[in-house]
Chains A and B, each alone.
Chain A
Amino acid sequence: MVNGPVLRGKDMAEFKMREMVTVGRKKLIGEVISIDGDIGTIQVYEETEGLKIGEIIESTNKPLSLKLGPGMLGNMFDGIERPLKKIDELSKDFIPEGIGLISIDPKKLWDVDIVVKKGDFLNEGDLFGEIKETSLIVHKLMVPPKIKGTVIDIKENGSYNIEETLVVLEDDNGNKKELKMYQEWPVRKQRPIKERIPIDKLLITGQRILDIFFPIAKGGTAAIPGGFGTGKTMTQHQLAKWSDADIIVYIGCGERGNEMTEVLEDFPELIDPKTNKPIMERTILIANTSNMPVAAREASIYTGITMAEYFRDMGYHVAIMADSTSRWAEALREISGRLEEMPAEEGYPAYLPSRLAEFYERAGYVKTLNDKEGSVTIIGAVSPAGGDFSEPVTENTKRFVNVFLALDRELAHARHYPAINWLTSYSGYSKILKNWYEENVSDEVVNLRNKMLRLLQNENKLQEIVLLVGEDVLPDNQRLVLEISKVLKTGYLQQNAFHKLDTFVSLDKQFKMLTLIDYLYERSKGAIEKGIPISQVKDDKLFYDVVNMKYNIPNDNLEGIDKLKERIDKYYDELEGKYSS
């Protein structure tokens, strides 16, 4: 049978579940997804047009797996790790089917430092060599899982391609094992670790609403749901650019081709503030755009997470952005539909929640096999149909993530970006990170955040009254809540990704800005309590300058904030003096 990306073949009793196969004359790549007697069902990762009944399905005898080794950073791959640049060289401009299984460059030479000597005993996960893959990242060569033994042969330090044997191990039974620069790993299987460690570090993103209000922890999980046009991709791009992970894996899953092109054009020019190197050097891109074959979209998520785990095993902190997990869920639905499976909610298969759980559970902060600390943080965008958060993908994702950043259509329409709704979003890490904030920023972060969130909630209730009777009838202390909330919203929560100072903000500045807004609130509240009318208390120029501190105070010189504080003091001291006399 041929039905879109789904095939059935006969005489397949010897095939294994989840095995990779090639189909027909064009050698299309596919994966066995069910076996019934000698009938096997295959999902094909390429266009099946032209395929005929009677064409041969060939076994490769291994599950869908990746070559993990040097050559991944700075590159863009399709959903099954085929380098798109290479495909573009082979077949200009468009992606044909039947290109076969290509992967990281087998010919490129890498300078290897071997860090073991003959006679050393190596366990799984131990390092045996290093490669400076990019100016930012040292690629550590590890003994693959389940392999150990004594080094009986090594190569000199020098330039080699990935296929050359660098180290030979011999185990207790005398079996020899050759180690190369890469290892193969099945995408659907978690890579082993020693143990999970509790999460306690902030993933610094330089985005105020995240770092202070809804923090994401290293090794944590976050979801960004939002209807179209609310800025999911923009938020993901900001995170990929500025978060302080060592490695970024960006998966464009069923999204726009131009967005991936944009990343390809922008990232090499963006300089990481910490290292002064182009951030492309720490980024891996996986692109399965919306018009590329749907089955490879299903695989792309696993490809990304497997690469992330591999770098985690070297002791790096990896953040993975999946944009968008809804397209992945839809790919599951499409294939499920073609298999004529019984649908559950909205046509999605009944196993959708368990698949989502499997994916998000691959995040974590761990001790690796070689006793290093590493982490995988997952940030998944969700594209709910009709912007309705009660649909199955959003609902089920919510169950498995700790940070929920709800993007809001109203905010997006008013061009308030990031359009993260502060009333419906939440972060389960805010409490867990209390100690981290105390050690790294200030004891006051969590209290201040909670106070400001209460203020915003209060403002929301007041706005309902305002909508009924207008602002003028509110007492002055409530009008002040509205005014300060406005400062907080435009001056703090809104962040301009295109402004060179505002696109990334240091934690110090984030905290001082919020403290200053709080100070303005306290001083102006004090003045109101003394009976001074709001028209006097709200000084347009002063409020305006507080709102604009995001644009004119650099991250590395925060004196401007102290000066603003002096001005606040001066203004209210004078004002109160005038009224008391």
Chain B
Amino acid sequence: MKKEYLLLDKVEGPLIVLSGIENVGYGEVLDIKVDNGETKKGKVIKIEGDKVVVQVFESTSGISVKNTAVTFTGKPFELELSKDILGRTFNGIGEPIDGGGKVYSSDVYNINGRPINPVARRYPRNFIQTGISSIDGLTTLIRGQKLPIFSGNGLTHNELAAQIVKQAKISEDIDEEFGIVFAAIGVKHDDADYFRKSFEKADATDRVVMYINYADDPIAERITIPRCALTAAEYLAFKENMHILVVMTDITNYSEALREISSAREEVPSRKGYPGYLYSDLASLYERAGMLKRKKGSITLLPILTMPNDDITHPVPDLTGYITEGQVVLGRELFQKNIYPPVNILPSLSRLMKDGIGEGFTRKDHPDVSNQLFSSYSKVQEVRALSQIIGEDDLSENDKLYMKFGREFESRFITQGINENRSIEKTLDLAWEILSILPTEDLDRIDPELIDKYLRKEDYYG
């Protein structure tokens, strides 16, 4: 019989403190029984002599220092996983909330995982076609990549993520299985419903595992939920050899939960009150994406975060950008022009696209074309700034072409329908069509041979 501890020292926010504890391990999980019959789980986050600090998942309301019985399980936080999780919905600590029964399996995994050995990694090189021009053409998604969407409150990131989930060809081969793991971290009920419906529409429900922590659920579970989701993803990818796309929203909620707990622990804060280990902590999530040499499966990670006040230098997007392999940034200005998807391409980047596009992957002209679009569109910004001062009429003829290019680029290349699925060929052809507006000698990023081959000036604009 395991020892029961009946007296707490302190309850504060999501933390409880106990003393007189023997033989307990760092990170160990414990069961907390409250006298009204509720049971909760907690995790040891600090041991000091015989004193233990515990982070309680679920809410601490109703806990008093005297009405609880605490038992230590002697184990870290673990999940039992099998393929039966596909099609199911769980809460932040991996318990089913869809009315179905618990998942039983002999495969038990520690949700913290272990770092992938860089020697064992396989470098991602396979292009994933999302059917979205701004992504496929300019910030190409590669299988095994971690590519976050940096958004702002009210922007159309959910729609974009849902469109990617619906259209992404994660695997070309029919005999390769793919699946989606969805983690909703502190999201509104209607956002979670939106995703659920879009999975249904895409006829993907039985390939989706959902982990949901609503905005009014306990914050301590926001710390475990992405770990549960990634553990499930690792299981499906590396044990069941599936190609997994993990969608996580919203990392800002996760980071805020981390800050709340850190402040309850009275830790020394760094930028904007976030704990000094925010970088390492986020990395312990993002770095779980990837591929292994020995395994067929893959984990592609698509985290979504809302930048507070649209500020890309805020610690959460900033640190995320330092860890992930690029970012897709959504812009308020484009959104207000009613452009969907409002991808602001200039700060967007895919670090892995250089090895996954071009001849043999997408098309030979892809690298140069995307380079040229970036370069020309950045020139558009300068010309627009000038035209606001001197007026468009007084611009030089050359600059007027850039104004036209900018408009066409936004209204035809970036803009597309929420159900419009463009092939990479179509995306690149469209790019050429729009680039043909510019004087040919300004296309200095494209190999002249490719210009000869693909540029069809007269066809489009006479």
Contacts and interface: CB of A to CB of B under 8 A. Distances in A.
Interface of A: 1-4, 47-54, 76, 84-85, 87-88, 91-96, 227-229, 252, 254, 256-258, 260-262, 264-265, 287, 289-292, 294, 327, 330, 333-334, 336-337, 340-341, 343, 346-348, 383, 385-388, 409-410, 413-416, 466-472, 490, 498, 540, 544, 547
B389 A3 contact: no
Interface in B194-243: 238
Contact of B112 (A49, A51, A84, A92): A49
Given A51-B25, A470-B390, A94 B114 contact: yes
26 contacts: A2-B46, A47-B114, A51-B25, A52-B47, A87-B119, A93-B116, A93-B292, A93-B295, A254-B283, A258-B144, A289-B283, A290-B280, A290-B283, A292-B115, A294-B280, A330-B276, A334-B276, A347-B268, A387-B318, A409-B347, A467-B389, A468-B389, A470-B386, A470-B396, A472-B396, A547-B444
Interface stretch (B60-68, B152-160, B323-331): B323-331
Interface residues of B, number: 84
Interface of B: 22-28, 46-50, 76, 110, 112-124, 144, 238, 267-271, 275-277, 279-280, 283-284, 286-288, 290, 292, 294-295, 313-315, 318-319, 321-323, 325-327, 346-347, 349, 351-352, 354-355, 367, 371, 374-375, 378-379, 382, 385-386, 389-390, 394-396, 399, 441, 444-445
B268 A340 contact: yes
Contact of A414 (B325, B351, B375): B375
B284 A490 contact: no
A466 B313 contact: no
Given A93-B292, A229-B327, A415-B375, A289 B280 contact: no
B287 A257 contact: yes
Contact of A94 (B76, B116, B445): B116
B238 A93 contact: yes
Given A1-B48, A94-B114, A290 B287 contact: yes
A61 to B, nearest CB: 26
A294 B277 contact: yes
B117 A95 contact: yes
A172 to B, nearest CB: 48
A327 B49 contact: no
Contact of B115 (A3, A95, A415): A95
Given A95-B117, A257-B287, A414-B379, 19 more contacts: A1-B49, A49-B112, A51-B26, A52-B25, A84-B118, A92-B294, A229-B351, A257-B115, A257-B290, A258-B123, A260-B121, A290-B280, A290-B287, A292-B115, A327-B279, A347-B276, A410-B378, A415-B374, A415-B445
Contacts of A416: 375
A265 B123 contact: yes
A485 B124 CA distance: 38
A3 B46 contact: yes
Contact of B279 (A229, A254, A341): A254
Nearest to A348: B270
Closest 9 CB pairs of A and B: A386-B313, A290-B283, A347-B270, A228-B321, A49-B27, A291-B287, A414-B378, A94-B114, A260-B118
Contact of B49 (A49, A53, A386, A469): A53
B271 A385 contact: yes
B289 to A, nearest CB: 9
A291 B445 CA distance: 37
Contacts of B277: 4, 294, 334, 337
A385 B287 contact: no
Q: Which of B49, B122, B268 has the most CB of A within 10 A?
A: B268
B70 to A, nearest CB: 17
A467 B287 contact: no
B371 A467 contact: no
